Structure formats: structure tokens, C-alpha cells
Amino acid sequence: SGWTVELHGWIFEPNLFSDLLEPLRLVLSLPEPVVDTTVDADSQQLWEQRGHWFTVDNERGKRLAVRLGNDVYTLPASRPNGHFSGVIELSAEPPAQFAVETAAHDSRRFTGELLAIPPTGLSIVSDIDDTIKISQVLDTSELLRNTFLRPYRAVPGMADLYQHWQARGAVFHYVSASPWQLYRPLRDFMDEAGYPLGSFQLRYFRWKDQTAVIFLQDSSAHKTAALETLLSRYPQRQFLLIGDAGEHDPEIYGALARRFPEQVKAILIRALAGADLSTIRWKQAFAGLPASLWHLFSDPAELPDNLLND
């Protein structure tokens, strides 16, 4: 009879001191530009653009008010990491965008986007690294360079595939182990590459607590929790899960399909060089599931045309 609007945001102040990037560089074991000739001026600029998101001053205990149509809603206070989330109940379908209310003397304008997801239909759950963006997760050094020092590169054919699915009515949810500090660079890349708008579920990272320690650790628990919440939130929707063979997507998706057999429509796994592609892995990951439910592919052109058919 109405719509439930879930809002998420991040309140922070930019940090103007570039020397705060040095501790981050050391933690990530990235090369120092002045001594490493492989880091050119363009790479240094990318490092500063992406790295500065990790040095901002998170604002805790701040409340924002947002305007949806003619109504204004006050959201819960931000947490110590600056992030906040809130739920608003509406009687009519929400607008595509909303505005943040600012003080009368503040000329800045902050807006956000809303993705309307009906109770029924098809949702595409997509990983990001090595599923739609070339990251090389199996090589930590290359992963970090691709994340902070190099232009992001799209996996060939994936944006076209996602656009095709969007044209057929699919809604997208991007679930990744990347930290929220990389949301803006990732979103800019995805917009430029032509990936459809979708919801994002990323990981929290903060220097002052244990989240900094898990930056490069196994993301299975994060993904599993995010996906279980998503499928439970939309019990009447069908889900197509797409990821890669680099880490634990097959095992996570297989377990999810066993728990939600009526909702998981298909599982697609992109093969990666150097990943475990053995038969025993697939037998274990997809034990108890129909063989027709999952597909291993290298090129999206290999995927069956009838994946989205009822």
C-alpha cells in the first residue's frame, strides 16, 4: 500500500593536508612516487584523488533533513564513522532524486538518488572487482595499483550485457568488499562505462577502529550478510547472482541458493586466470543445486540468451 525508502549517506569534512596520505600509502604498501619511476604524474594524480577520501574528517552525531517532494524528513544521527541510514514510509512512489535541506546562509546544494524497487520482478546482484571492473584480486600488489594508481578498466562486454538486462526490466544491486571511500571513484567509472544505476553495498573502513584491519581480508562475511538482508527484504523478487572465480563468490552464492531456493534464479561466475576452476570446487560450491542453475563463463557472449526468461 506504500513505499519504504531506505536512505544511506556519509557526513564528513574534507582534509586539506595531503601529508595524511602517507600513512595510507605505507599501510597499503604502495610505491613512493619520488623513488619509483613506474609511478608517473597521472598515477600520482589518481592516488591523490582516490586516497583523499580516506583522510576526511568523519562527522559523528550530525542529523540531516531531506526533502522528498513537498515533505521534509529528519534522518537519524550519523555514527562515529560519519555514516547514517534511515527509513521513510511514503504513500506514493518516491521521486528519482531528493535534496538535503541546508541552513539559510549555506549556498551549497546536496542531492541524492532514489532507486524504486517494486516488490516483484528481477534483481541482478553483481560483484564489482573482476566481475565488471578489471582489478586482479588474486595479486594483491596489482589489485592495489589498479585500485589507487591506474584508470579503472571495464570487463569487455559486461556493460552491454547489463544494459540489455536493464532494458528487460531488471534492477541492479552492486555488492562489493571495496570500502565506502571508493564509492565516488567507482560510481564515476561505472557511469562512464555505461553500467546501469543500482544500489550499492560496500564495506566500512575507519582508521580509528578494527575496520582498518579488515581492509584486505576475506570479505565472505560482509557479502553473505549483505545478500541475506537483500533477499529477505524482497521475498517476492527473483535474483540472478553474478560474480567471479577469484575469491569466494561461488561458495557464497551456492550457500545463498540453498537457503533461498525459490528466489535465486541463476548464478553466473566469470572465470579468471589463476583461479581455482577445478571440478571439485564446483561440486562443493553448488552441492545440492541443479546443474542448470549455475554457469561458468569467460566472455559474456557465452551466456545463454534465455537466462531472464520465466
Q: Which of 3-17, 113-127, 129-143, 262-276 has the lowest mean pLDDT?
A: 3-17
Neighbours of 310 (CB within 10 A): 6
Average pLDDT over residues 212-216: 55
Residue 20, pLDDT above cutoff 80: no
Q: How crowded is the C-beta side of 229, counted as CA atoms within 13 Å? A: 10
Question: For residue 42, which phi and psi values (nearest 5 degrees)?
Answer: -65, -40
Residue 293, pLDDT above cutoff 70: yes
Query: Residue 124 in contact with residue 227, Cβ under 8 Å?
Result: no
Helix (H) or strand (E) holding 175: strand 171-179
- Report pLDDT for 210: 54
- Report pLDDT for 146: 93
Written as nine digits, the cell of 281 is 570446487
Q: Number of H helices and number of E strands within the chain? A: 8, 14
Extended strands (E) in 34-104: 57-58, 65-68, 71-74, 83-90, 97-101
- Report pLDDT for 166: 97
Taking the C-alpha atoms of residue 12 and residue 14, their distance in angstroms, rounded to an integer, is 7
- Report pLDDT for 306: 86
**Which is more confidently placed, 71 or 258?**
258
- Report pLDDT for 219: 79
- Report pLDDT for 34: 43
Residue 200, pLDDT above cutoff 70: yes
**Which is more confidently placed, 219 or 184?**
184
**Which is more confidently placed, 106 or 50?**
50
The whole-model pTM stands at 0.91
- Report pLDDT for 19: 65
Residue of 159, 164, 213, 1 lying closest to 91 (CA atoms): 1
- Report pLDDT for 305: 84
- Report pLDDT for 32: 63
- Report pLDDT for 17: 62
Average pLDDT over residues 61-82: 92
Average pLDDT over residues 262-270: 98
Residue 91, pLDDT above cutoff 90: no
Non-local (6+) Cβ contacts of 115 within 8 A are: 171, 197, 198, 199
- Among residues of the chain, what percentage have pLDDT more than 90? 65
Residue 211, pLDDT above cutoff 60: no
Average pLDDT over residues 219-236: 94
User: DSSP secondary-structure letter at 94?
Assistant: P
Residue 35, pLDDT above cutoff 50: no
Indicate the pLDDT class of residue 226, thresholds 50, 70 and 90: very high
Residue of 174, 164, 175, 169 lying closest to 118 (CA atoms): 169
Distance from the first to the final alpha carbon of the chain:
26
Written as nine digits, the cell of 206 is 575507519
Question: For residue 296, which phi and psi values (nearest 5 degrees)?
Answer: -105, 130
